[in-house]
Amino acid sequence: MLSGPTVILALKIAVAAVTVLLLASLLALWQGKLKLHGRLNLAFFILTLAAVLGFELIIRVIEPATFDYIKNNPDLLRALNIHLLFSVPALLLMPAMLYTGLTHRRGLHLLLATLFAIAWAGTFVTGIFFLPTDAP
């Protein structure tokens, strides 16, 4: 049986890893390496989407009771809901950012990038620091 804290720990590691990839992408952009920026963003998109789909598979199909302990604890549920307020918009912005980047729609891409940066910063902070890796 998969435990909720174990799944959360794995997700924290995934968030940290793809954040490093995202920062590398921004470094490539700053250095004027647009092709590398695009490739790193594509890798970020694929890995993030794979983590989200794997997470959903676990909690919806494989082990639906994984997070019952969170549902029964108001503080943990609040932390999860705050996290979702950032992570869901970030996830929804990702395909639009990928599309506008690949089609060279710079103005829209920069607007989406700003919104994504806010959402991802919230995703990172709440995911790494708010969600517990131990069951109460």
Question: In this predicted model, what pLDDT tens digit does every residue of 112-130 receive, in sequence order?
Answer: 999 999 999 999 999 999 9
**Dihedral sign, Cα of residue 73, residue 88, residue 22, residue 48:** positive
Give the closest residue to 109 by CA, choosing from 85, 87, 93, 122. Answer: 93
Mean pLDDT to the nearest integer, 58-84? 92
Residue 17's pLDDT band, with cuts at 50, 70 and 90, is very high
Q: Which range (12-21, 58-67, 91-100) has the least confidence? A: 58-67
DSSP 8-state assignment for residue 135: -
What is the spatial distance between Cα 6 and Cα 123, in angstroms, rounded to a whole number? 18
Tokens of 97: 């950012």
- Show the tokens assigned to 131: 């969600």
Helices assigned H by DSSP within the chain: 4-30, 34-57, 68-71, 74-102, 106-125
What is the CB neighbour count within 10 angstroms for residue 44?
A: 23
Global confidence as pTM = 0.90
pLDDT, tens digit, 9 for 90 and up, residues 27-69: 999 999 999 999 999 999 999 999 999 999 998 999 999 988 8
Give CA–CA dist 82/101, Å, rounded: 29
Give yes or no for a contact between 87 and 123, defined as CB atoms under 8 angstroms apart.
yes
Q: Looking at residue 2, what is its pLDDT?
A: 80
The yes-or-no verdict on residue 1 having pLDDT over 70 is: no
